[in-house]
Amino acid sequence: MSRFPYLDEYEVHRTMPDEGTSREEILAMMSAMASRENVVWEDGHCSGTMYCGDHDHYDFLNQAFSNFSYVNTLQRDMCPSATKFEAEIIAMTLDILDASALEGRKPGGLVTSGGSSSIAHAVLAYREGNPNITRANMIKPETAHPAFAKAGHLFGVDMKIAPVDPVTLEVDLEWVRANIDANTVALIGSAPNYGYGTVDPIAELGAIALDRGIGLHVDGCLGGFLLPFGRELGYDIPAFDFTVPGVTTISADTHKYGYALKGTSVLAFADQSLRNSQYFYLTDWSGGKYCSPGMDGSRSGGLLAATWAAMVSLGRAGYLRYAKAIFETSAAMQDAIRSHPSLRIMGRPSFLFSFTSDEYDIYLVNDFLRTKGWRMNGQQYPNAIHMAVTRPQTQPGVVESWTSDLADAVAYATAHKDEPAKSGAIYGGVAGGMSAEADEFIRAVMADMMDQQASIPMA
């Protein structure tokens, strides 16, 4: 089988074609590809990735996007609609995150290109907001997203890695307290973390941050547009938003459970002064005075329009309705796991849950589930697999399929427990065994994805 996608079906372009291809032919090809690839997630067997899964909703967002797809948000004098959309996206996000609790402060926000970007802007803001510290550091739970490590690497901010409780999978508060030093600018907590769906003790972290006079970033990229509605529905979810004293920034992805198009996210600030500290400007450039509120320069107005359209069209009632279905589905899927004594759910999960086994390699379960079309995400230390429940899982029949297929997977794992598993733990659910040469393996995988032109036969 060829490593290059669609090699045997469509023309391959190693160089720019001399003559253009008709629009009809191009659109027909793309439609065929999309229809085939949509099958991977439409049946609800894919963890995360497709948070909405409603083609009518996507069609609506695409229409909204098309009105401003060619607009550059830098030219606000030409397209003032971008200012309206962006300001209201931020205001609605602050509302969901209960910024009204911030008495005497002026909250604000940024719309970014995704969760990693929101996290990076937060790290940059804490660094720039503490200009007297030469080499800043932040304290990150081991379970917090790798984007913090990436941002620290890029911006010269050290990340101190805090251990987590092996049972609750929540950050070790005593370790945090003991490791704050004069260069610590902020703490980090997840709501929830990507691996296990558990929420860190944000209230306790906030108290520590206040006591030490530092910031607290809550990574709500995954749960920022879902956990608030879960709390409203009465689920046992600890407070994590701006009602918690000490919380200074929160990241929340609109392109996940905000049901907007990829890629947009919001970084919310308890006070605009912290946001303003990370602006970039160059006033003595020959091309004129340059300023940028974020790392991106040109941005498509279409994404702002589509995100605004998603939020306004659904409203609180829509988000609450979808949250109810997701939490109920997640609970039913977790109950199916608990029905098997050989399986163990890790920590106290929310809508996203992770499970393992003390009797066999859990990736044997994953191996079997893959044969049934399930695309799970893997963890390591210890080996585990997780499911981020989204709207596609709430379709009729998915929980029943999960229950049946999981039972068969447990039987398979039990029967093959002395054999090595085929799948492994790589972010995003890509299967592959890990080894002592893991770094080189990852580099090779990434290079293979980025350099696929090497797979195309020369003419």
CA-CA distances (angstroms) from residue 192 to 21, 237, 350?
46, 10, 8
Looking at the structure of the chain, the number of domains it has is: 1
pLDDT digits (tens, 9 = 90+) for 129-185: 999 999 999 999 999 999 999 999 999 999 999 999 999 999 999 999 999 999 999
CA quadruple 122, 125, 131, 134: dihedral sign: positive
- Token code pair at residue 73: 């948000």
Q: Closest Cα to residue 268, out of 259, 283, 258?
A: 258
Q: Are 218 and 202 in contact (CB under 8 A)?
A: yes
Using the predicted structure, report yes or no on whether residue 433 has a pLDDT greater than 50: no
Q: Is residue 390 part of a domain?
A: no
* pLDDT tier for residue 244 given thresholds of 50, 70 and 90: very high
pTM > 0.85: yes or no: yes
Q: Is residue 339 part of a domain?
A: no
Q: Is residue 296 part of a domain?
A: yes
pLDDT digits (tens, 9 = 90+) for 101-136: 998 899 999 999 999 999 999 999 999 999 999 999
CATH number at residue 203: 3.40.640.10
Strands (E) in 23-170, as ranges, are 108-112, 137-141, 158-162
| 304 vs 296, more confident | 304
Q: Are 388 and 47 in contact (CB under 8 A)?
A: yes
pLDDT digits (tens, 9 = 90+) for 311-365: 999 999 999 999 999 999 999 999 999 999 999 999 999 999 999 999 999 999 9
Using the predicted structure, report yes or no on whether residue 4 has a pLDDT greater than 90: no
The mean pLDDT of the chain is 91
Q: Is residue 223 part of a domain?
A: yes
Q: Is residue 148 part of a domain?
A: yes
* pLDDT tier for residue 217 given thresholds of 50, 70 and 90: very high
Percent of the chain beyond pLDDT 90?
79
Using the predicted structure, report yes or no on whether residue 264 has a pLDDT greater than 90: yes
Quick one: pLDDT at residue 292? 81
Give the whole-angstrom CA distance, residue 438 versus residue 97.
39
Q: Is residue 348 part of a domain?
A: no
Query: Could you tell me how far CA 223 lies from the centroid of its own chain?
Result: 9
* pLDDT tier for residue 387 given thresholds of 50, 70 and 90: very high
* pLDDT tier for residue 430 given thresholds of 50, 70 and 90: very low
Quick one: pLDDT at residue 413? 97
* Mean pLDDT value of segment 218-233: 97
Quick one: pLDDT at residue 298? 82
Q: Which domain holds residue 120?
A: 81-310
Quick one: pLDDT at residue 434? 46
Quick one: pLDDT at residue 429? 44
Q: Is residue 274 part of a domain?
A: yes
Q: ∠301-293-311 over CA atoms, to 5°?
A: 45
Count of CA atoms in the C-beta half-sphere (13 A) of 195: 23
Quick one: pLDDT at residue 432? 39
Q: Closest Cα to residue 189, out of 229, 135, 142, 257?
A: 142
* pLDDT tier for residue 431 given thresholds of 50, 70 and 90: very low
- Token code pair at residue 234: 């009465």
* pLDDT tier for residue 453 given thresholds of 50, 70 and 90: low
| 387 vs 458, more confident | 387
| 457 vs 351, more confident | 351
Phi and psi dihedrals of 374, rounded to 5?
-80, 135
Q: Is residue 322 part of a domain?
A: no
Quick one: pLDDT at residue 270? 97
In the three-class reduction of DSSP (H, G, I as helix; E, B as strand; rest coil), residue 338 is classed as helix
Quick one: pLDDT at residue 371? 96
pLDDT digits (tens, 9 = 90+) for 65-114: 999 999 988 777 888 899 999 999 999 999 999 999 998 899 999 999 99
pLDDT digits (tens, 9 = 90+) for 13-47: 988 999 999 999 999 999 999 999 999 999 999 99
